Amino acid sequence: MSETIFSKIIDREIPADIVYEDDQCLAFRDINPQAPVHFLVIPRKPIAKLSDADEGDKDLLGHLLLVAGQVAREQGLEDFRLNVNNGAGASQTVFHLHVHVLGGRPFSWPPG
């Protein structure tokens, strides 16, 4: 996978407001927040998009969701939305898997 802005954040080549990290993943605030709280949870492993993950990534994917929920609670969120854009046609712009976590305002359904 080619290097992305997120691999540079992992490698500390560019700064980010990191709110959580462990040996498998990082969570940091989105530079262009779409809600009062908006952070991204990314694996250290460079998976370009969700549909590139395989059976061997099962524990990692579960971990990303657990961290998303845990950090959301730490950020004071009770209700929040998770979003994963998979592919350019679904508005993915950074090709390093990431889970958006948004909260602090009402959300409607269906999404735009």
Instruction: Tell me if 7 contacts ligand 5GP by CB under 6 A.
Output: no
Q: Which is nearer to ligand 5GP, 29 or 45 (CB)?
A: 29
Instruction: Tell me if 31 contacts ligand 5GP by CB under 6 A.
Output: yes
Which parts of 52-111 interact with ligand 5GP (CB under 6 A)?
85, 91-94
Which tokens go with 104? Answer: 């602090």
> HSE on the CB side for 100, CA within 13 Å?
20
Q: In angstroms, rounded to a whole number, what is the distance separating the alpha carbons of residues 94 and 92?
A: 6
* Minimum gap (Å) between residue 91 Cβ and ligand 5GP: 5
- Could you tell me how many helices (H) and strands (E) the chain has, helices first? 2, 5
Q: In angstroms, rounded to a whole number, what is the distance separating the alpha carbons of residues 64 and 99?
A: 8
List contacts with ligand 5GP (CB under 6 A).
5, 16, 28-32, 85, 91-94
Please give the positions annotated as active site: 98
